[in-house]
Amino acid sequence: MAEGNVRLINETIGLSDEEAKVFWPLYQEYETELFELGDRRLDLMDRFIASDEALNLDDSEAQKIAAEWFELEEARFALWKKYHQLIAARLSPLRAIQFVQTEHRISTVVDLMIASELPLFRHGLLSDPAESGASEVPGGDPPQENSQAVAMKASWEGDYPVDALDRLPTGQRESATGYIGDAGTFTAIWRAFKPAEIVPQVDFKSDVVVFARNVHFYNRTRIAKVQMKDGILEILAAETMSAAPIEDKVAMTLAVISRKGVEAVKTSERCLPLSSS
C-alpha cells in the first residue's frame, strides 16, 4: 500500500490513531481485491478493442462482452458494499460512508479517463451490407479507409521508477504516451525498467518502441492497440480500475512496432515527429 493512499485518505477522512489501526488492515485487503478486478477489466478491454479492430463483433460476442461488463460493475459495487459494512461494523457508519465516497470519487475520474480513450463500437459482423443498402454504420462515422492497425512485435509491462523518468526522451517525460527512437535511450530506460533482465535487441533502423503510462495514478497499464492514419501513430492503452497515488513508481508498458510509414506519434498534447534512428 503506497504512502500516498495513507495521506490521501487521512486528509479526506481524518482518522484518529486508534481508528487507523483498524482501518488500514481492512483497506489493504480491499486494495488487493480491487486489483484483481482491475486485471479482469484489462482482459475485457482487450477483447473489446480486438473485436472492434477485427470488425467481427456478432450478436453472440456482443452479448458476452455486455454480460461480463455488467458482472464487473456489479462486482465493484459489491466490493464497496462489503467493505462499507466491515468499516461500519468495526469503526462507524460515518467512516464507512466517507470511505465509499472517497473511492467512488476517485474511480469516477479513472473511469472518465479510460472511457475517453476507448473506441465506440461502430462496426459489426453484417450479413451483407450491399443487401441492406448500408454504406456505413448508422449513427457512426464513415469508415476510415486510411486507418490501419499496427502489429506489436513484442511488448513488456511493469513498474518504472519515478526518479528515472528523466531517461525518457526530451519533451516526453510528462506524456502518457510517446516513443523511443534510438538504442541508447532504450538501453538507459530498460536498465531502470527491468534491471535484472538483458536489454532486448531492437533494430531501430526498421522499428521503434512506443510506451504508455498513467501520469495521474498508479494503475497497471497495457498497450491494447496501436493504429496509424495518414502517417500518424496513435497508442491506445488499457488500465486497471484502482487509483493509488503515484509515489516512487509508475506503471508503464513498452511495445516494438515497425517504423514503416510512421511520420509522427500522437500524444494527448501534440504530435511528435518521428526522428531518424
Structure confidence by residue, pLDDT tens digits, 198-248: 999 999 999 999 998 878 777 777 787 788 888 898 887 766 655 566 778
Percent of the chain at pLDDT exceeding 70: 77
Pairing verdict, β 207-213 and 249-258: antiparallel
Question: What integer pLDDT is reported at residue 48 of this predicted model?
Answer: 75
More confident residue, 137 or 46: 46
Question: What integer pLDDT is reported at residue 241 of this predicted model?
Answer: 58
Question: What integer pLDDT is reported at residue 150 of this predicted model?
Answer: 86
Across the range 46-63, mean pLDDT stands at: 73
Distances (CA, A) of 70 to 38, 41, 73, 78, 247: 14, 11, 5, 12, 32
Distances (CA, A) of 127 to 53, 58, 66, 134, 156: 18, 10, 22, 11, 38
Question: What integer pLDDT is reported at residue 17 of this predicted model?
Answer: 85
> Does 140 have pLDDT greater than 50?
no
Q: Average the pLDDT over each of 51-55, 81-85, 183-187, 198-202 and give the range with the smallest value.
A: 51-55
pLDDT tier for residue 131 given thresholds of 50, 70 and 90: very low
Across the range 244-256, mean pLDDT stands at: 85
